């Protein structure tokens, strides 16, 4: 029996490799986003702690130096928070781009797999037609012999 070979198998193999690379890139971007979000959460918690401490200092005995230090720390936390929010936003954009790329390569791979399936179906039909023709020839030969 004839063996099926897909003439664009090497392209399909490349598409599968590209999809795997895109999956890795997506996972990396997702992990990076999670890390940046965690850093932002930590900054927000530190800022909230400084704000709590500032309120306690204002309500308790007034230590001007410590209040100023606390206010400066809050300002530093605000700027860190803004910077970290920008990093989170950049990580979100990177993740979205990785998702779009992954989706694109998955569509390409599926397209080539469908082309391969169609080629295989055509191959099976050709084999069936060849077998049918061979059977017809045998029957015709036997009929004329007999």
Q: In this structure, is residue 118 part of a structural domain?
A: no
Question: pLDDT value at position 18?
Answer: 97
Within a domain: 127: no
Looking at residue 146, what is its pLDDT?
55
pLDDT of the residue at 98: 97
Q: What is the pLDDT of residue 60?
A: 78
pLDDT at 64: 87
Q: Are 105 and 15 in contact (CB under 8 A)?
A: yes
146 domain-assigned: no
pTM: 0.76
> And the tokens for 135?
């059977």
User: Which structural domain range is residue 75 located in?
Assistant: 9-109
Per-residue CA distances from 141 to 131, 134, 144 (Å): 15, 10, 5
Q: What is the dihedral of CA 68, 73, 77, 79, to 10 degrees?
A: 60
Q: How many domains does the chain have?
A: 1
Mean pLDDT, contiguous 10-residue spans, the chain (146 residues): 88 97 98 98 96 88 87 96 98 98 98 96 94 86 68
């Amino acid at each position: 029996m004839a063996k099926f070979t897909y003439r664009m198998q090497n392209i399909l193999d490349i598409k599968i490799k590209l999809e795997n690379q895109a999956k890795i890139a997506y996972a990396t971007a997702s992990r990076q986003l999670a890390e940046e979000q965690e850093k932002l959460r930590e900054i927000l918690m530190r800022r909230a702690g400084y704000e709590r401490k500032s309120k306690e200092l204002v309500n308790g005995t007034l230590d001007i130096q410590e209040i100023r230090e606390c206010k400066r720390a809050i300002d530093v936390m605000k700027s860190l928070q803004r910077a970290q929010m920008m990093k989170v936003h950049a990580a979100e954009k990177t993740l979205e781009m990785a998702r779009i790329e992954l989706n694109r390569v998955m569509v390409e791979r599926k397209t080539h797999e469908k082309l391969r399936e169609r080629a295989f179906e055509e191959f099976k039909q050709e084999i069936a037609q060849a077998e049918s023709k061979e059977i017809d020839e045998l029957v015709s030969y036997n009929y004329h012999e007999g």
